[in-house]
Structure 1
């Protein structure tokens, strides 16, 4: 199991990387959208996009367009057994969020930057549908 073959990494390892990549993408996107805002306001806005519910919803929207390899990564991520679900997320929602993060981690580690950008942009757009205007 090496980073040169990310599909061989454990799903929770992919999710660990994917969580950081998704969080950074959302933070950068928010700064580009809203200019100079207080860090506390940016943090509160970011949590609406990176919370388990938003990630699970993004995954549901992406499912029909996943490649077979991506679908396998998502399945493995959904079936992984994390230590515990965070506050405010039920088990199924958290499993779907972990699957989304595993997909993002896989795309990042496999160097599929265009596909990664497309997935993250779609996730932000999908999560943003329910957000108030900034």
Structure 2
């Protein structure tokens, strides 16, 4: 099986598992480059970018602004519709599923070798959060 076939065969939860880690690395790098060094401050600030609510709001903005290709939307839906036996503690099931789709999108892009696109979307997400474009509650 080739590397291409590997990611194409993965379910949405596995893609989200990878995507969560990839997106988190971009956020952590951004926060450290911004001069944050204290662990509690880093964790608190990171939550603004990586919480299920933030990710769900970000994917909503991406879809609203037509930032995603049809294939990217397909992978988002694969993650969103995947059967998960866990859920986030501080959010609704719907928000959690949408954020799982967000993470699956990043997992797909990374595993398919589209690292430039990963960076483009991660940086776009950072810009949206920093500009205060996310609603407070979902």
TM-score normalised by structure 1 residue count: 0.89
- Structure 1 residues 27-50: Cα deviation after superposition (integer angstroms, max 9, x where no partner): 0000011x2521221111112210
Alignment coverage as a number of residue pairs: 130
CA RMSD after TM alignment: 1.7
Q: Which runs of 5+ in 1 are unaligned?
A: none
Unaligned runs of 5+ in 2: 134-138
Partner residue of 1:87 out of 89, 100, 113: 89
* TM-score of the pair, normalised by structure 2: 0.86
Q: Distance in 2 between matches of 1:125 and 1:7?
A: 30
Note the C-alpha offset of 1:2.
Answer: 5.9
Q: Tell me what 2:110 maps to.
A: 108
* 1:117 aligned residue (108, 116, 119): 119
- The answer on whether the counterparts of 1:3 and 1:9 sit within 8 Å (CA) in structure 2 is no
CA shift digits 1:39-94 (9 cap, x unpaired): 22111111221000110011111122211211110111110121122111111111
The equivalent residue for 1:8 is: 9
